[in-house]
């Protein structure tokens, strides 16, 4: 990582605050100290790696925002080369920003290297952080063309980008191995990783020769190239063996063992100088790691050779080590835009420290845009007002609201309140009440049922006695024979039986007639009870709801359309309020700060900013269209048939229906009484 020396931000910014903003610099002393603290904590580089990353992200984000306020910051920014340690100072903010990005890339590389590759989450983080480190370095290459130090030169940065991508590919290989992917796939990925390290080994030679990098860099890259080439050959051998191609498998295992031994030999023979970024622990790790792989290759080779003891191969192909081919990375860099677009980075950056410091030119442009916003709001309010006026005028001209209230009142009075609708019905009611008070039909039917029951029992008992007498005579005659001298009762029985037949037939006819009377009574009983039952009788109790449904449906439909019309108006007023709130909280200053370049198309910028109000305008236009449709439906109801006249006619029809129904019931009732009650002698 790079190192730096202290910077006095207040000293760097005070003249710019005074000249550019015509403000007293001491009024912004707190902000300068906050920026100073932000830098000091970020570049200290101590503590948890992810905490350091967050601090560096915040500082870089504040530098980007600072550049919007102060396009030309004058000051000295001293940084030491990450590899040579040479101190370099420049007076532009670009060196500060590039150096901070370099620090973030270094931290991301360290985070990637510290992950546990035995866990899926660790592998995923290792791949991601290696890719973001590469993306940060690519951004430095593309945007900071004049390198002030060796570590920031294009050649070194390109080497570091390739190194980060190689490590990302290596982590991807770990993922394939952990998931037990096919040996052919693992072999291809390992070969690709080996080719990347081979390319890096060639790139690093000029840097080790001029002592920019320690020679140990070259050794580490050689070890990695040989190891991953061996790993590729090993898994290729396993795939050949699984396919039954044992001869080829043995050849690839011998080549894998040879590469592994070369890697182990390099790891065992070189040492790191004190200034090297690597340690003896690293050398020991690689020696043990490669030696373990040598043992693995040897063990597998021995296993296959034992299979050839009884049947040695006729010809064993000899494979010579060759340089890996192809240096295309399997993963790509994550660009800086994607890194800083992430919510975690945005949260780390936080608020703009100098948010209150806005140039006068920005204020002037903001006022122009504010007037455009006001015009937009006024235009929408005028459209809404015209729509409101059209609705009011249309409803007023046709007296729609008054007619709705009138038909509701008429319907409620005649249907819901159930007022008496005919003196004739009242007279009939009085007549029926008097008749029922004197002797009710219900009571007479009950007496008739009881009389019929007694009569039936009497006739049945007579018939039974005659049958018993005949049976008893036959039994005694049989028992006593000639001694039984009583005359047979046949003559008397025949006479009685003949007399009984018309009585039974008349009884059956009377029963059938009584059933008809009962059926007719059941059809009108509830209405008669309603008429007689209480003093506060209302005609509502006589109205069939089916008869009233058309009038009620008409009123309900009329009212629903009026409610819809009212709801649309309320919705539009709500959208107008939301639009006003959005404009009230609008702040174009940040966008103007980011586009202070003289070549910026101000009209295009304003047009783009106004697009955020499009949803409100579309909603308002939609309400006007919906309102016109709803208004048309309401006016159509009024124009097709006058609501008051229609409902009045419907209610009159209902009244007539009720009168006719009561008339019919009264006639049926009179018929009942005539059939049930005896005529006066």
Check the CA dihedral 312-316-321-323 and report its sign.
negative
User: What percent of the chain is modeled with pLDDT above 90?
Assistant: 28
- pLDDT(531) > 70: no
Same domain, 371 and 382: yes
Structural domain boundaries, residue 107 = 1-180+332-357
pLDDT at 193: 93
Q: Do both 237 and 353 map to the same domain? A: no
Q: Number of helices (H) and strands (E) in the chain: give both, helices first.
A: 22, 3
pLDDT at 158: 94
For 368-394, write each residue's pLDDT tens digit. 888 898 899 999 999 988 888 887 777
Task: Clarify whether residues 36 and 174 are in a common domain.
Answer: yes
User: Among the three residues 510, 537, 564, which one is the final residue of a domain in this structure?
Assistant: 537
User: Same domain, yes or no, for 115 and 203?
Assistant: no
Q: How far is CA 37 from the centre of its chain?
A: 41
Asked if 400 contacts 635 with a C-beta cutoff of 8 angstroms, the reply is yes
C-alpha separations of 539 from 432, 531, 651, 656, 661 in Å: 16, 9, 12, 12, 11
Alpha-carbon distance 541 to 419, whole Å? 10
Same domain, 460 and 512: yes
More reliable by pLDDT, 261 or 600: 261
In a domain, 657, yes or no: no
**Residues 6 or more apart whose Cβ sits within 8 Å of residue 134:** 105, 161, 164, 165, 168, 333, 334
Per-residue pLDDT for 58 more than 90? yes
Please tell me the total count of domains within the chain: 4
| Distances, alpha carbon 86 to alpha carbons 82, 272, 607, in Å | 8, 21, 50
Asked if residue 365 has pLDDT above 70, the reply is yes
Q: Is residue 422 part of a domain?
A: no
Phi, psi of 4 (to 5 degrees): -145, 175
Distance CA 61, CA 80 (A): 22
> Angle of helix 643-676 relative to helix 441-480, nearest 10 degrees?
40
pLDDT in tens, 215-250: 888 889 999 999 999 999 999 999 988 888 888 888
Residues 6+ apart with CB under 8 A from 455: 507
**Which CATH number fits the domain that encloses residue 197?**
1.25.40.280
What's the rounded mean pLDDT across residues 521-548?
56
Residue 302 and residue 342 in one domain: no
What is the 3-state secondary structure of 614-637? HHHHHHHHHHHHHHHHHHHHHHHH
Residue 112 binned pLDDT confidence (cut-offs 50, 70, 90): very high
- Using only C-alpha atoms, the chain has a radius of gyration, in whole angstroms, of 53
At 423, the pLDDT band (50, 70, 90 cuts) reads low
Mean of the pLDDT values across residues 144-160? 89
- Considering the domain boundaries, does residue 651 fall inside one? no
Dihedrals φ, ψ of 542, to 5°?
A: -100, -10
Is 70 exceeded by the pLDDT of residue 401? no
Query: Picking from 7-11, 298-302, 357-361, 559-563, which range would have the lowest pLDDT averaged per residue?
Result: 357-361
168, 235: one domain: no
CATH number at residue 575: 1.20.120
Distance (Å, rounded) from C-alpha 350 to C-alpha 62? 8
Same domain, 75 and 114: yes
pLDDT at 498 over 50: yes
| Own/partner pairs, 38-43, CB within 8 angstroms, 24+ separation | 38/62, 38/353, 39/7, 39/9, 40/6, 42/100, 42/103, 43/3, 43/4, 43/100, 43/103
User: In the numeric block, which tokens belong to residue 20?
Assistant: 């550019």
pLDDT bin (cut points 50, 70, 90) of residue 680 is very low
Q: Looking at per-residue confidence, does 591 or 26 come out higher?
A: 26
Range in 7-11, 72-76, 230-234, 280-284 with the lowest mean pLDDT: 280-284
Task: Tell me what the pLDDT averaged over the chain comes to.
Answer: 79
Tokens read off for 382? 């005028």
Residue in the block written with tokens 């006593």: 480
Is 547 or 186 the better-scoring residue by pLDDT? 186
- Domain assignment present for residue 289? The answer is yes
Cα separations (Å) of 145 from 1, 2, 61, 142, 448? Answer: 20, 19, 21, 7, 120
What is the pLDDT averaged over residues 57-73?
87
> Do 12 and 69 belong together in one domain?
yes
Residue that is written with structure tokens 């240096």 in the block = 327
- Candidate from 112-126, 531-545, 604-618 with smallest mean pLDDT: 531-545
pLDDT at 681 over 50: no
Confidence of residue 413 (pLDDT cuts 50, 70, 90): low
Contact 216, 204 (CB under 8 A): no
Residue bearing tokens 């059939």: 675
Buried b (16+ CB within 10 A) or exposed e, 331-365: bebbbbeebbeeeebeebbeebbbeebbbeebeeb
**Is pLDDT larger for residue 421 or for residue 50?**
50
Tell me how crowded residue 152 is: count the other CB atoms within 10 A of its CB.
24
Contact present, 58 and 107 (Cβ < 8 Å): no
This prediction has a pTM of 0.58
Average pLDDT over residues 400-421: 53
Residues in the chain: 681
DSSP code per residue over 21-33: H---GGGGHHHHH
Q: How far is CA 330 from CA 186, 190, 427, in A?
A: 13, 11, 102
Q: Note the pLDDT of residue 679.
A: 47
DSSP H or E stretch at residue 101: helix 93-113
Same domain, yes or no: 459 and 556:
no
Residue 434 scores a pLDDT above 80:
no
Domain closes at, from 537, 562, 591: 537
Share of the chain above pLDDT 70, in %: 69
Compute the average pLDDT of residues 537-550: 49
**pLDDT score, position 548:** 46
pLDDT band at 399 (very low <50, low <70, confident <90, very high): low
The answer on 189 and 281 residing in a single domain is yes
The answer for residues whose C-beta is within 8 angstroms of residue 527's C-beta and 6 or more apart is: 542, 661, 662, 665
Does 677 reside within a domain? no
The stretch 463-491 carries a mean pLDDT of: 73
Give the pLDDT of residue 128.
95
* Residue 434 domain flag: no
If you average pLDDT over residues 458-475, what whole number do you get?
Answer: 74
**Per the domain annotation, does 307 fall within a domain?**
yes
pLDDT at residue 361 tops 80: no
Residue 192 token pair: 């690709």
Please choose, from the candidates 132, 600, 125, the residue with its C-alpha nearest in 3D space to the C-alpha of residue 342.
132
Residues 60, 168: one domain?
yes
- Residues 129 and 104: their CA atoms lie apart, in Å, by 10
User: Is 646 domain-assigned?
Assistant: no
57 vs 584, more confident: 57
């Amino acid at each position: 990582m790079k190192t730096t020396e202290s910077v006095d931000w207040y000293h760097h910014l005070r003249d710019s605050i005074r000249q550019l903003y015509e403000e007293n610099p001491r009024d912004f002393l707190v902000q300068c100290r906050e920026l100073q603290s932000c830098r000091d904590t970020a570049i200290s580089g101590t503590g948890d790696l992810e905490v350091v990353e967050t601090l560096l992200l915040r500082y870089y984000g504040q530098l980007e925002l600072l550049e919007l306020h102060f396009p030309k910051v004058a000051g000295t920014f001293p940084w030491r080369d990450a590899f040579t340690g040479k101190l370099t100072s420049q007076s532009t903010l670009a060196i500060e920003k590039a150096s901070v990005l370099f620090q973030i890339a270094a931290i991301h590389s360290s985070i990637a290297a510290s992950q546990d590759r035995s866990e899926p989450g660790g592998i995923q983080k290792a791949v991601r952080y290696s890719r973001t480190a590469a993306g940060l370095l690519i951004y430095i290459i593309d945007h900071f063309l004049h390198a002030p130090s060796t570590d920031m030169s294009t050649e070194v940065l390109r080497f570091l980008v390739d190194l980060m991508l190689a490590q990302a590919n290596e982590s991807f290989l770990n993922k394939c191995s952990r998931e037990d992917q096919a040996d052919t796939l693992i072999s291809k990925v390992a070969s690709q990783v080996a080719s990347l390290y081979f390319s890096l080994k060639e790139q690093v030679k000029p840097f080790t020769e001029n002592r920019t990098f320690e020679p140990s860099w070259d050794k580490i890259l050689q070890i990695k190239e040989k190891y991953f080439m061996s790993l590729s050959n090993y898994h290729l051998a396993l795939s050949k063996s699984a396919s039954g191609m044992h001869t080829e498998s043995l050849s690839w295992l011998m080549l894998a063992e040879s590469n592994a031994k070369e890697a182990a030999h390099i790891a065992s023979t070189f040492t790191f100088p004190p200034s090297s970024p690597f340690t003896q622990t690293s050398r020991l790790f690689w020696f043990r790691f490669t030696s373990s792989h040598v043992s693995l290759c040897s063990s597998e080779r021995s296993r296959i050779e034992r299979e050839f003891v009884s049947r040695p191969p006729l010809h064993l192909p000899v494979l010579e080590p060759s340089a890996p081919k192809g240096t295309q990375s399997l993963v790509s860099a994550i660009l800086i835009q994607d890194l800083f677009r992430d919510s975690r980075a945005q949260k780390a950056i936080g608020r703009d420290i100098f948010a209150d410091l806005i140039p006068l030119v920005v204020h002037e442009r903001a006022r122009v845009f504010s007037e455009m916003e006001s015009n937009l709001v006024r235009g929408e309010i005028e459209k809404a007002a015209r729509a409101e006026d059209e609705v009011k005028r249309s409803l007023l001209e046709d007296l729609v609201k008054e007619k709705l209230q009138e038909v509701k009142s008429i319907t409620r009075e005649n249907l819901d309140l159930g007022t008496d609708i005919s003196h004739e019905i009242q007279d009939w009611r009085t007549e029926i009440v008097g008749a029922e008070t004197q002797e009710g039909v219900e009571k007479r039917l009950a007496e008739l049922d009881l009389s019929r029951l007694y009569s039936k029992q009497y006739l049945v008992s007579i018939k039974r006695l005659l049958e018993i007498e005949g049976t008893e005579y036959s039994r005694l005659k049989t028992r006593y024979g000639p001694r039984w001298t009583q005359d047979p009762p046949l003559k008397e029985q025949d006479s009685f039986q003949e007399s009984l037949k018309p009585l039974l037939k008349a009884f059956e006819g009377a029963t059938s007639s009584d059933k008809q009377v009962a059926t007719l009574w059941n059809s009108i009983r509830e209405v008669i009870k309603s008429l007689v039952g209480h003093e506060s009788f209302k005609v509502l109790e006589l109205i069939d709801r089916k008869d009233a449904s058309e009038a009620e449906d008409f009123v309900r439909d009329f009212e629903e359309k009026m409610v819809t019309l009212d709801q649309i108006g309320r919705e539009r007023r709500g959208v107008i309020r939301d639009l006003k709130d959005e404009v009230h909280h609008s702040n174009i200053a940040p966008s103007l700060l980011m586009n202070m370049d003289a070549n910026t198309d101000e009209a295009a910028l304003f047009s783009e900013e106004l697009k955020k109000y499009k949803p409100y305008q579309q909603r308002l236009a939609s309400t006007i269209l919906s309102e016109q449709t709803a208004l048309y439906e309401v006016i159509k109801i009024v124009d097709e048939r006058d609501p008051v006249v229609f409902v009045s006619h419907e209610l009159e029809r209902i009244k007539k229906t009720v009168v006719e129904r009561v008339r019919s019931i009264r006639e049926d009732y009179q018929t009942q009484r005539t059939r049930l009650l005896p005529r006066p002698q």
